[in-house]
Structure 1
Amino acid sequence: MPEASGTPLLIALAHAMAPHALPAFLLVLLTAVTAGGLACGWLQRRHAALEAETEARPPRLVLSLALGFAAVVAAAALFAGIAERATPTHTLGRADQVLADGIAATLPWAALRAFSVLTHLGDRAVLIAIGVGMAAWLLWRRHTGLALGWMLALGGNAVLNPTLKNLFERARPVHDHGLALEDGYSFPSGHSSGSMVVYGMLLYVALQLLPPRWHAPAVMAAIAVILTTACSRIFLQVHFASDVAAGLLSGGTWLAVCIASLAWAQGRTRARPAT
């Protein structure tokens, strides 16, 4: 057993996982995309009943706020736990390095080249272009509330991620393949948090404005883009796995806060004429 031989279980798992990281990623991606599509279809079938229930019963604001607060606290605690253990002297940090070294030694060059292209979906320039373009389109179509929520979500994450990077100051893994060159701090991953917020908000806008038949494909596409962009950072060895997990967690928490705020504001706007 790994523990008996003196090797912590997490490090042993990272060592065993590294040669199979690519098929494991493809399996997780397929499972997540399929589950997202199925869940969206199920929620659409439940939509009429949920809408009728909401109309018959006033929103429980206090309960919603309490649940949201608890979720944020739980996410913050998990983030803090990752940050505390993602150092070279802790087991998680050592497992990160073992996984990065194993991927560098076993990943096929063709896969590395593919991830070096796909990772640009999370580049700052790409996300800024999407952000500016979508904000302009929403304002042009007079979706003022969505435009404001969109800009606040993207702007907030643009401040949050660099702040966290400068707070923890974690060095990046060594990456000398020449396909992706990154400097600056590593924790949490900016590509992961940025993709989570931008493509997550893009999905939210799509669910608000597109016909229902496009909802499931939109969910599946968003999941595919977010997971692929995030995991590309691990395969390119420009981020440790815990950097990516923390980036998805911080971005996902901020995204949930923004979407919940938008949904609450839209609910008050719809309820105002009836009142």
Structure 2
Amino acid sequence: MSTDTSASLAAASLHPLVLFAQKLGEHALAWFLLTLITCVLIGGLACLMADRRRRRQTGAPVADNDQPPRLLAGLVTGFALIGVSAALFALIAEHLGDGRVLGQADQALSDAIGQHVAWNVRVAFSWLTHLGDVETVAVICLGVAGWLWRHAHRSLALGWVLALCGNGLLNPMLKHIFERARPVHDLRLAHETSFSFPSGHTSGAMVTYGMLIYLAVRTLPPRWHAPAVMAAIAALLTIAFSRIFLQVHFASDVAAGLVSGFAWVTVCVLSIEYAQHRYTRRRR
């Protein structure tokens, strides 16, 4: 039997998800750029539409009795999102064992990226990934907290710091629960020794830049909302994808990092909103 025939038979025996991962890896850069542009544009458009709707409602009387139902609806929606996120996280974790299809797809995607993505592209990602480093996040944390405190947004400053510190504790705990080994990476562009699942850079980016979106909408003039949201989404996705392009994480690690980070951001935002609502009502 010829080598080509053997390769064809081997490919035919692969699960469709594994074959899809291989094809995705062959055109990974194009898919990244498409995803990045789409998400950034959707985020900016959604922000512009929300600001326009808010301007239309400005000046309309809102009864105080309407606020508790709105807050309750927000809390219920938020906790539903947390529940969905937890279910997705559990589903990802459940399918990561040896020989499982998701694990095979992870490896196929990583191998395809290693074969088809140019070296200079990965060098660029090795620089961009530093946007999610602990040192970078720490500088952002202190700078934003100082700005919020200076402008009398002290409850937001406290919520911001607790959100980032909380994720700094949560992610290592999850890593030690699952103890998944990283993909083999010898590019000399990034070196990681901790466990792989979920991605700490990705969850940290989701929490950091997700909270920055919330704070920007809460504190900045409306004309800055869309640019801030678009920049934060671009940074978040670039950090997440960089971990896959550098082969220091599997795609499922990154997906789990996004899910866990999103769930924690939701908890933090709901907690801040609820605390400020209670404080406002007590002062009336």
TM-score by length of 1: 0.93
* Pair 1:185 & 2:195 matched: yes
Identity within the alignment, %: 54
Give the structure 1 partner of residue 35 of structure 2.
Answer: 28
* Pair 1:13 & 2:20 matched: yes
Compared with structure 1, are the counterparts of its residues 62 and 190 closer, same or farther at alpha carbon in structure 2 (3 Å cutoff)? same
Deviation per residue, 1:231-269 (Å, 9 max, x gap): 000000000000000001100110011112212223333
CA–CA separation in structure 2 for the residues paired with 1:77 and 1:157:
19
- Note the residue ranges of structure 2 that are not aligned, 5 or more in a row: 1-8
CA–CA separation in structure 2 for the residues paired with 1:150 and 1:254:
12
Name which of structure 1's ranges 70-79 and 33-42 shifts more when overlaid on structure 2: 70-79
* Pair 1:142 & 2:152 matched: yes
The equivalent position to 1:236 in structure 2, one of 219, 240, 246, is 246
CA–CA separation in structure 1 for the residues paired with 2:230 and 2:211:
14
| Structure number, greater radius of gyration | 2
Deviation per residue, 1:186-208 (Å, 9 max, x gap): 00000000011111112222222
Give the structure 1 partner of residue 237 of structure 2.
Answer: 227
Letter in 2 for 1:38: L
Compared with structure 1, are the counterparts of its residues 107 and 142 closer, same or farther at alpha carbon in structure 2 (3 Å cutoff)? same
* Pair 1:116 & 2:123 matched: no
* Pair 1:43 & 2:50 matched: yes
CA–CA separation in structure 1 for the residues paired with 2:18 and 2:42:
30
**Residue 5 of structure 1: CA displacement?**
3.4
Letter in 2 for 1:218: A
* Matched-pair contact (CA < 8 Å) for 2:85–2:262: no
Compared with structure 1, are the counterparts of its residues 96 and 225 closer, same or farther at alpha carbon in structure 2 (3 Å cutoff)? same
The equivalent position to 2:266 in structure 1, one of 249, 253, 256, is 256
Compared with structure 1, are the counterparts of its residues 185 and 46 closer, same or farther at alpha carbon in structure 2 (3 Å cutoff)? same
**Residue 62 of structure 1: CA displacement?**
4.1
Give the structure 1 partner of residue 3 of structure 2.
Answer: none
CA–CA separation in structure 2 for the residues paired with 1:137 and 1:37:
24
* Matched-pair contact (CA < 8 Å) for 1:87–1:94: no
* Matched-pair contact (CA < 8 Å) for 2:199–2:256: yes
Give the structure 1 partner of residue 226 of structure 2.
Answer: 216
Give the structure 1 partner of residue 67 of structure 2.
Answer: 58
**Residue 139 of structure 1: CA displacement?**
2.2
CA–CA separation in structure 1 for the residues paired with 2:197 and 2:159:
26
Name which of structure 1's ranges 94-103 and 251-260 shifts more when overlaid on structure 2: 251-260
Name which of structure 1's ranges 179-188 and 84-93 shifts more when overlaid on structure 2: 84-93
* Matched-pair contact (CA < 8 Å) for 1:82–1:242: yes
Name which of structure 1's ranges 129-138 and 178-187 shifts more when overlaid on structure 2: 129-138
Compared with structure 1, are the counterparts of its residues 54 and 25 closer, same or farther at alpha carbon in structure 2 (3 Å cutoff)? farther
Provide the alpha-carbon RMSD of the alignment: 2.1
Compared with structure 1, are the counterparts of its residues 121 and 258 closer, same or farther at alpha carbon in structure 2 (3 Å cutoff)? same
Name which of structure 1's ranges 128-137 and 243-252 shifts more when overlaid on structure 2: 128-137
* Pair 1:128 & 2:138 matched: yes
The SS at the match of 2:68 is coil
Compared with structure 1, are the counterparts of its residues 50 and 234 closer, same or farther at alpha carbon in structure 2 (3 Å cutoff)? farther
CA–CA separation in structure 1 for the residues paired with 2:107 and 2:84:
27
Letter in 2 for 1:59: P
TM-score by length of 2: 0.90
CA–CA separation in structure 1 for the residues paired with 2:278 and 2:181:
45
